[in-house]
Each structure stands twice: as C-alpha cells, then as structure tokens.
Structure 1
C-alpha cells in the first residue's frame, strides 16, 4: 500500500469517527423509525463464479432525526438458519448545515444541505464515504435525498489496498393510495465509479420497493407492510459482467 493510500485511509477513519461521535448525541431524537424486514428471492449471483442461488435476508433498519441532523442504519443477515450465514451493514450519519448555522441554505428544489458520511462493513466490504447530502423538495415525496460522496474502499481482490472514487446515492419514499388501500414506494440507488487500483468496475446497486400497508386493513396503519422489492446490482462488488436482478417478496414490520 502506498504512503498516500495509508494517509487517505487514516484521515478517512478519523473523519468518520468524528462524525459518528457527533451523530450520537445524548439528547433524545426528535423522531425515529425502526423496522424489521424479511426478503426472499431467487437469482442471486456468486462472486466469483457468476452462478445463481436462492437466499433469504433478514434486515434491521433504523432512521432518526435529531437537533442537528439525521442518521440511517441497516444490518442484513443472509440465510440466518444456515451455517454459512453472512452479514452486511451500513451506517449513514448526516449533519445539517442549515441547522448548525441557523441559516436558510435552500435553493431551487434543494431544501437543505448536509455533511454526509457512510460506513459500509461486513463480508468482503469495508468502505468509508464522505461528502455532501441534499434534501429535495418534491411534492408528494416526503423523503427525497441525493448524497454525493468520495468513496474510500478496500477490495476483496487485493486485501489491504485502498482506492477512492466518486459515488452518488439517491434515497426516496413516496406514500400513495389506491382506492381504500395505502401504499409506499421507497428505495435507494447507488452509482459507484470504477476503482481501477483494486480492480473494481463501475457498479450500480438499486433496491426499489412497492409495499402495501396491510396493517391498515385491520386498523393498525403504518406497522405491517407486504409487497415486492427488486434488487439490482450491475457489476456486483465491481466484478465486470456479474449482473444480478432479483425480485424479492418482502415483509416489513415497523415499530
């Protein structure tokens, strides 16, 4: 590993650690939402090998907002009843520049600007991302965010080697109704540019979900959802030609 890469990795770790400590204030959150999800689908791809397999994933998701920003966290457990189970998680704190400064930083459809970070961990992934987040004001879409990062990652192909490249992340959540039924359309999309130093190609990860509020049918709205998620990954883990597209049955319990 070059001295430049070592220095970049050290700096990124220190910056992320600082943001994590600030993003965990002692005061209570202004709002929070925690969910358990279960996904089940066929057509996942191995890397290497590019062979298909079936998989069940259990996910814990948490989001909250506090005085100076917001946090998002999820943790996946794949095949929890299998000895070969695997784990993956992400933690994404953001600090609102308008809330910190007390000034209105909105412009156009942008209603707020934040300092943004993400830590991806588990399996063959260990990456730290730093950049800016933009909250968008879109009618009918209460959650619409664009985060623009510089990504510092390690490769499963060259352990210990660190590279960097840009990444853009879109996040959205839009509720709507059809007749007497209530639905949400939510998800995210990541576009990560190539990290040639460690053999990674451009890759896209997208997971849109369409879920019906089934709890509302018996008077318990916004608690139990069911529907479908489509998990798409072009060049999985940056591996050229390993493209994954999996329709998944999804159940989401929010409390």
Structure 2
C-alpha cells in the first residue's frame, strides 16, 4: 500500500515534531501562484499552484516541509512535496560549531516525493550569520534517486527583509544545483520571491504578502535544453 504524497507529508510533519519535541518557533503559510510560461507543458496552458509550507525550529535542529498542488490543462492535478528535517551537531554535542560566517553545522536530510517517485537526500548543512539576512542556509547532499542515476546536490536558501519608507518587503529564494550523471544533464533551479506585506495595513502582526515569483530553471528535470524563465503572480498568507 502506498501513501498519497499529501498524506505522507502530513505524517512526516507529525513525526518530526515528535522527534524534536516542542518547537521554539513555528510558521505555517499558504501560497497561491499563477503563471503561463512553463517548460514541459504547452506554452499556452495556464498553471495554478497552491503551496502549503510549515517551518519550525527546535532544540536539536529544524524542520521544513512543503506540498505543491498544481493544475494545468495538460497534466491535470498533481501533488509534490519535500520534507527536510535537520539535526544540529552543535546542539547534540553541546559545543559551538562556529567558524567565520558559519554559526552551526547540521546533518541534513530531505525526502522528495510525487507521482511515481521517491528521492532521498542526505548530507551536511551549514547555517550562516550574514548581516541583513533573516537566514542563509546551505545543504550539500548525496541523492538517492528513484527513477534516474544517483547524483549530488547543493541547496542554498536565504531571506532578506527590507523596508521602503514605512512599507515592509521580503526577498527570499532557494537555489538547487545538481551534478551531471549518466543519462542526466546538470540541473539548476533558482526560484526567488519578491513580496510586499500588505497585511501590515490590516494589523501590525498580519503577514499577507503580494508579489511575484521568478523561476530560472536550466535543464529542468535534468533534461538538457529544457530551460525555464517564468514569472508568476503570488499571494501568500502566514497563519
């Protein structure tokens, strides 16, 4: 019996919280995206995506999970998710693993799952202390792929909050880069969001963002020559 991706994502969230105990902080958000210029679907087809995200910080590490529910006229409805628990080596050993801009070293893992695929990533992660950044993280993975040759991946994530006058903005992004392996091209996906918090005009604590998501995806899904440069409208609400 196979779990559906969304059910497995929920189960993974519960398991991670049990392992790491009560969170120091946690955040849950829902994002709506709309775009038209995607590779591997017909150019004229419109695609909508609803993304559910959960992030938490714990005594011995952190946890992040998201699930994308996409719809377009070619492939219909599809669900994809990633769950990424990380274990802080500094917290486990009781020693500060700081050097240069690095403020912690972690064991990093990720489970990627979708239609007919399950990939497992494991490696080492670094948290950085960078001026003006809300966070900056780098994970280096060995990837056990389900449907292609195993490879290596680098994942960088960051967020930069800033203000223009009294208005609050956030620029955040992830960058995935994978190595060349037999039958697969090297893949690079840099997806960034640029958002204005209109929620501050509702109440000081409301985080309701509007903006755009920009995706630059070279050799999408490791297919050589399938390059995507897409701009999508975005609405995001944090609970």
Distance 1:104 1:26 in 2: 19
SS of the residue aligned with 1:237? Answer: helix
Residue 176 (str. 1) matches residue 136 (str. 2)? no
Deviation digits for residues 128-153 of structure 1 (CA, Å, limit 9, x no counterpart): 11001100110110210000111111
Distance 1:24 1:149 in 2: 24
Distance 1:38 1:170 in 2: 23
**Is the deviation greater in 212-221 or in 166-175?**
212-221
- What's the C-alpha RMSD, in Å, of the aligned pairs? 2.0
Give the conservation status (yes or no) of the 8 Å contact 2:20–2:61. no
- Deviating above 3 A after TM superposition, structure 1's stretches of 4 or more consecutive aligned residues are 20-24, 80-83
Which residue number in structure 2 is paired with residue 42 of structure 1? 36
Deviation digits for residues 125-182 of structure 1 (CA, Å, limit 9, x no counterpart): 4211100110011011021000011111122xxxxxx522111000001111000100
2:134 to 120, 132, 142: 142
SS of the residue aligned with 2:199? Answer: helix
Distance 1:95 1:81 in 2: 40
Give the conservation status (yes or no) of the 8 Å contact 1:23–1:95. no
Give the conservation status (yes or no) of the 8 Å contact 1:37–1:251. yes
Alignment of 1:1-255 (within 5 A): 24-25=18-19, 27-46=21-40, 51-52=42-43, 53-79=45-71, 84-123=76-115, 125-155=117-147, 163-196=149-182, 199-255=183-239
Question: Unaligned stretches of 5+ in structure 1?
Answer: 1-19, 156-161
Count, aligned residues: 225
Distance 1:26 1:133 in 2: 17
Distance 2:62 2:201 in 1: 31
Give the conservation status (yes or no) of the 8 Å contact 1:37–1:60. yes
Distance 2:126 2:18 in 1: 21
Deviation of the 1:83 alpha carbon = 8.5
Deviation digits for residues 164-203 of structure 1 (CA, Å, limit 9, x no counterpart): 211100000111100010001111000011231xx21100
Distance 1:88 1:203 in 2: 18
Distance 1:51 1:81 in 2: 9
Distance 1:232 1:87 in 2: 21
Give the conservation status (yes or no) of the 8 Å contact 1:23–1:93. no
Deviation digits for residues 79-133 of structure 1 (CA, Å, limit 9, x no counterpart): 2999820111100000000001000111010000000001111035421110011
1:125–1:207 Cα change, 3 Å: farther
Deviation of the 1:51 alpha carbon = 3.9
TM-score (norm 1): 0.83
1:124–1:204 Cα change, 3 Å: farther
TM-score (norm 2): 0.88
